[in-house]
Amino acid sequence: MTLLEVRGLGKHFAGLHAVDDVDLDISAGEITAIIGPNGAGKSTLFNLLAGFYRPTSGTVRFKDRDVTGMSPHRTVAHGIARTFQTTNLFEDATVLENVLSGRIVRSHSTVFDAVLRSPRHRREERRNLDRAMDALEFTAIADYRDEIASRVPQEVQKRVSIALALATDPELLLLDEPAAGLTEEETGGFAQLIRSIVASGVTVGLVEHRMSMVMSLADHILVLDHGKEIASGTPETVRTDPQVIEAYLGAGHHEQEGTG
Ligand SMILES: Nc1ncnc2c1ncn2[C@@H]1O[C@H](COP(=O)(O)OP(=O)(O)OP(=O)(O)O)[C@@H](O)[C@H]1O
């Protein structure tokens, strides 16, 4: 089943076509990776899907609903969550408070409920705390719950961003370079985490530079160069595509495969 359908999507900044006439189908239950050289348009594409940018052209449909140009708080309410390359946490808040902030989108009690501490408000608070704790346990950082977010190791901060995104109860989670700056070993841990996210029923979109991670995780890969699709398909199809090898994988690919 197609969860997200993108057609003819474009984003122009002045004269620059950052994303240019892109089509993409993300199937439910799969990991779809978007790869390409620096500046290829990967993050811009994610920003268009999650509503951080308004497209210049084209459409985005999510669960058969037109979400083109919707604001991020509406796309997240529909079930699309996005993490960022550089973690953007509330630095002075605790890890738990950060993850709880992801629950705002699922909260219905009003300011009056909060002031009066109505039963509805207390029920919701309990549910939000349970859900945030679930997300912390799922991402294996529950022990850090009371630590200040800016003081925990980088790897933990990255897990906090993922926990925050999971706390919004997404159906589609867009991960923008989750392993950037991590060691080989930490990257392995993130690959495991991404697999378990998919096993829990959340579909994943992944922008990642580490080819070994992409090739081992992705069911489907879209390759962008200068904003345009140059290939798409299974890891096997993409890694042998001459245009991809030339545009992006190049020497790195051969090194990795031990063929060059
Ligand atoms: N807000 C913006 N205003 C102007 N130009 C932008 C903006 N955001 C991105 N761009 C440009 O759009 C192009 C695509 O950028 P984008 O960040 O999407 O690429 P990317 O594939 O994610 O790159 P990287 O792998 O380096 O993160 C780049 O040339 C970039 O400079």
Atom of ligand 1 nearest to the CA of 227: 14
Q: Which helix (H) or strand (E) holds 162?
A: helix 154-167
pLDDT value at residue 253: 43
Q: Which two tokens stand for residue 209?
A: 């530079």
Are 118 and 145 spatial neighbours (Cβ–Cβ below 8 Å)? no
57 within domain boundaries: yes
**43 and 75 in a common domain:** yes
Q: Which two tokens stand for residue 230?
A: 């140059």
Nearest CA to ligand 1 atom 8: 44
Question: 127 φ, ψ to 5°?
Answer: -65, -40
Other CB atoms within 10 Å distance of the CB of residue 210: 21
Atom of ligand 1 nearest to the CA of 209: 25
Q: Which of 72, 23, 25, 24 is nearest to 47 (CA)?
A: 72
70 within domain boundaries: yes
**58 and 91 in a common domain:** no
Question: 7 φ, ψ to 5°?
Answer: -135, 125
pLDDT value at residue 140: 98
Domain that holds residue 219: 1-79+173-180+203-260
How far is 242 from 249, CA to CA, in rounded Å?
Answer: 10
**127 and 108 in a common domain:** yes
Half-sphere exposure of 27 (CA within 13 A, CB side): 11
Domains identified in the chain, total number? 2
pLDDT value at residue 251: 42
pLDDT value at residue 255: 40
State CA 68 to chain mean position distance: 18
Q: Would you say the CB of residue 38 lies under 6 angstroms from ligand 1?
A: yes
**132 and 90 in a common domain:** yes
Hey, CA dihedral for 222, 223, 224, 228, is it positive or negative?
Answer: negative
The CATH number covering residue 221 comes to 3.40.50.300
pLDDT value at residue 257: 40
The per-residue pLDDT string of the chain (260 residues; one tens digit each, 9 = 90 and over) reads: 999 999 999 999 998 999 999 999 999 999 999 999 999 999 999 999 999 999 999 999 999 999 999 999 999 999 999 998 877 889 999 999 999 999 988 877 777 777 777 788 889 889 999 999 999 999 999 999 999 999 999 999 999 999 999 999 999 999 999 999 999 999 999 999 999 999 999 999 999 989 899 999 999 999 999 999 999 999 999 999 999 988 865 544 444 443 32
From 17, 42, 223, 226, the mutation candidate for ligand 1 (largest count of ligand atoms within 8 A of CB) is 42
Domain boundary among 146, 169, 192: 169
198 within domain boundaries: no
Domain boundary among 169, 194, 225: 169
Q: Which of 28, 10, 82 is nearest to 220 (CA)?
A: 28
Distances (CA, A) of 8 to 168, 213, 216: 29, 28, 29
